[in-house]
Structure 1
Amino acid sequence: MKTTNDIIDGVPVIEKLSVDELGTGKHRFFFKATTDSLGNYHRVPVIVIKGSEPGKKLFIQSTLHGDEVQGVDVIHQLLPHLDPATLKGTVVMVPGANPPGMQLASRYYPSQNETQTFTNLNRMMPGDATSSNAGSRFAHALWHNLYMDNADIFLDLHTDSTGTAFPFFMFADFRSADVCRLAALQPADQILEDDGIDGSVETELVRAGIPSLTVELGCANVFDPDMTRRGVQGILNTMVDYKMIAGKVDLLGIETYVGNEEVSVIADQGGFARVLVKLNQDVTKGQPVATMTNAFGDVVAEYSAPCDGRVLSVCTTPLREPGATIMQVLRRI
């Protein structure tokens, strides 16, 4: 543990987390990451619940994309379920991993350089402390001073991007038996068997031998009570299965659809999209799924399902420019 002499609102500031050095109990920190263009440190909130007995280290992170806040509510509502006296192991929670992005309600980490770079932190892991990209430096701080040595299991909580919606959906690398085990504990609507994306938290952690999931919980910029309930239950299921707490696994009666390819319907011209299908709806190839109208209400384009499958994502913002995604289908091939 590398601490500083700083106290903010009664919360100590740290430069490096080491949960092994903490005593049993509930701990709060501000993690001192990199600085902004005024020289002020970005401070990331960290909550650690250290159990009275040894066990797994479960790391839960939310809002690496700054507009994807649903996981914050999941973490907040999980807290009452965590009692250090009965917990085996440690739970580390980061309810807001990208403070500057959150302040802008932006998916990206904004940096104020000559090109006004907007960095996708979930493509930058494990980061580079000497990079000319401030986002990569920030990612390096998270990876090396928060994640490493503090996680045996990792759940990275996201949502779909602003203007679009997922169901409870997960990216999971099924080539790993440990990831399969972890995925089976979540009450998810859909799972994509995913070989991973370079630079994402999930992919880079799995490569480092740490089972990880990207957990997508609905829409950006909202707290959805059902997504919160299901997200909390998935975490509790994980803790039960890994012997961190007593209890039984409850999948809430949800049957999960597993696919291995996501297929997008893309706007070929701008206008107002009207989606004709709903999330989790089964569709067949050729079935009408959306129309596009112009400002006068004329239908200027019609779109059909590109394949059989299940509706994975829909746009919630009607205005779509050319090249924008209207909806996605998850299928198994």
Structure 2
Amino acid sequence: MKFGKQLRREATLPWNEKYSDHYVDYKMLKQHIRSMIANESEAITNTPVHFRTLLLSELSKIDNCTRVRAKELGKRMDKANSLLQTGDQEKYSKILNVCKRHLLLLSTFVDINSAALRKIAKKFDKKVLGAKGAESMMHNGEITTMTAFIEVFLAKVLERFATKQGKFESDISEGLFKTASPHEEINEELLEELEIHEDIPVYNDLPLDALPSGEITTMFVSLIQNELSRTIDVPVLVAKGKIEGPVLGVTSTLHGNEVNGIPVISKLFREIDVESLRGTLVGVPVLNPPGFSRRQRAFLDGRDLNRIFPGKPAGTSSQTYCHMILEKFAKKFDYHLDLHTAGLGRVNSLYVRADMNNPITHQMAVLQQSQIILHNTAPDGSLRIASMALGIPSITVEIGNPLQIHQEFVECALSGVRATLDWLNMLPIYPSEKIEETSSRAKTTTCTRSYWVYAEHGGMLQVMPKINTWVSKGDVVAVVRDVFGNILVKYKAKEDSIVIGKSVNPICCAGERVVHLGVCDDEFGKKK
């Protein structure tokens, strides 16, 4: 059996289902190697530098999962010790045998994933390093192989695990020796009883100062009450480093049907090396739970939350909710990324909205490596503009389309967040290999302004150009026909522009959005 299949088989075994996402994505790494060999793309994601980042991210997944599983194992051991104090030696020995089994499974998890990283690094050295030359593997001014590079970081993870493993083995062996029952039969009822089910705490505020350092904390934060007098609780992930530093907030799904930001945040926290983190990373995967539950853009009262910031402390439900978002989340951020997608019935390129006259948000936008950057400072009632008004640098990242996971854009957006962490020196992996604006400009179109073409007639709509493609002044960009097939109107581009987004809903009413076009002028304007 090939190693890749063996790894996937191991990850899908019943006792590993809970941790299957933490196994090395061997297939993805092999695809990156093939892409680099074929020179399929000149993007930043197709370089040895990015591949090193991917390897370290995969390693962090292993490390984080090992920590979590070791913590659970410790709690099972505590449960066993409490039974010993009560004199229940029979159940004590059974629990220890369960712990022994879980330690074996954890050891297997570490071994097979370590082997995966070593194999993929060796494959890179053989197929990419040989093709691209040794200079492609410069790191801190020195040439190194990918195998040697990953081995340095892997050794630290394995050393930490070996210390914990030795302690657990010693405690388990000593306990089983005391009870003289080293081979107790394990039944499923006992396994279920020993499952660790922890309730996720609910807070009235985001308690960053009170959270433990060097750990990832999962929680809910209450904002306002709904019609049943129950609080609307927002899910939050916090990775707090051991070293003081800035707070980066990453929010998603302010529009309930825009879900591509959710996997960006979950993957980010799955791979984050919290031991090396400087500062605090806050992830809010679903900022609008009522809209998310209803699969709709709007809030409970039908309002678009991203049009009424900063809200009011005493207003409509949506105004109050927006006010609480600023008070309980945004004001605690030093930097902010707000993740969105296109609205229902439309598709978007991977693009960023930012104030490009502001040097901080300018650089944050460039770091996302998006297809398009749109300069925008309009007071549009958005969370981004409200955060900027508070002095918090904020950008919006549009990641594809609504109610579907656009995997390619998700990976690109994740790379952008990683680059932001590196730029802020929160998680510096390659301090000497910063992404330069010049390298980004060759791949990203920066628009100084944009405009929507709106339908003047109702009927059947057809938008011609694809997203992220150029149209010339006078080109037909859309046609509206009546239901008999007769052309009612053709819409033309007013000037040379690039397609940022467009409608894909063929049923069109007068006044609806048709196509979003970006324009590149010589200078960034002060207004939209």
Shift of 1:29: 0.8
Equivalent residue, structure 1, for 2:209:
20
Q: Which residue of 1 aligns with 2:365?
A: 183
| Separation in 2, partners of 1:212, 1:167 | 20
TM-superposed CA distance for 1:198, in Å, is 4.1
Instruction: Give the equivalent residue in structure 2 for 1:53.
Output: 243
199, 203, 206: which is aligned to 1:10? 199
Q: Is 2:312 aligned against 1:128?
A: yes
Cα shift at 1:9: 6.3
Which digits, 9 at most, give the CA deviation of each residue in 1:190-225, with x for residues without a partner? 111111324311112112111100111111111100
1:253-292 to structure 2, matched below 5 A, reads 255-292=443-480
| 1:209 alignment partner in structure 2 | 391
1:96-175 matches, cutoff 5 A: 96-111=286-301, 118-131=302-315, 133-148=316-331, 150-175=332-357
Contact 2:330/2:387 (<8 A) preserved: no
The alignment covers a number of residue pairs equal to 318
Note the 1:307-322 alignment, pairs <5 A: 307-322=495-510
Runs of 4+ in 1 over 3 A off after TM superposition: 248-254
Aligned to 1:119, the other structure's residue is in SS state coil
For residues 197 and 71 of structure 1, the distance between their equivalents in structure 2, rounded to whole angstroms, comes to 24
| TM-superposed deviation, 1:262 | 1.1
Structure 1 residue 303 corresponds to structure 2 residue 486: no
CA distance in 2, matches of 1:304, 1:176: 33
Higher strand share: 1
TM-score (norm 1): 0.91
Give the distance between the partners of 2:377 and 2:320, measured in 1 at CA. 26
Supply the distance in 1 between the matched residues of 2:227 and 2:270 (Cα, whole angstroms).
38
Superposition TM-score, scaled by structure 2 size: 0.58
C-alpha distance in structure 2 between counterparts of 1:76 and 1:271, whole Å: 41
If you compute each CA radius of gyration, which structure gives the higher value, 1 or 2? 2
Between the aligned partners of 2:257 and 2:201, the Cα distance in structure 1 is 27
How big is the shift at 1:246? Answer: 2.5
Secondary structure at 2:349's aligned position in 1?
Answer: strand
For structure 2, list consecutive stretches of 5 or more residues without a partner in the other structure: 1-196, 522-528
Separation of aligned partners in 1, 2:469 and 2:345: 19
Any idea what the Cα deviations from partners look like across 1:143-191, whole Å, max 9, x if unmatched?
112222x211100011111111111111101232111121121111111
Q: CA deviation at 1:327?
A: 0.7
In 2 relative to 1, CA 124–9 (structure 1 residues): closer, same or farther, beyond 3 Å? Answer: farther
CA distance in 1, matches of 2:333, 2:484: 55
- Give yes or no for contact 1:196–1:202 (8 Å, CA) kept in 2: no
Rounded Cα–Cα distance in structure 1 between residues aligned with 2:478 and 2:267: 36
Tell me the CA shift for residue 255 of structure 1.
Answer: 1.3
Maintained 8 Å contact 1:64/1:122:
yes
CA contact (8 A) 1:14 1:29 kept: yes
Provide the rounded CA distance (Å) in 2 between the counterparts of 1:186 and 1:222: 21
Report deviation, 1:267: 1.3
Secondary structure at 1:90's aligned position in 2?
A: strand
- Is the deviation greater in 18-27 or in 318-327? 18-27
Q: CA deviation at 1:20?
A: 2.3
**Separation (CA, whole Å) in 1 of partners of 2:514 and 2:376:** 22
Percent identical? 29
- For 2:308 and 2:487, the matched residues in 1 are separated by 41
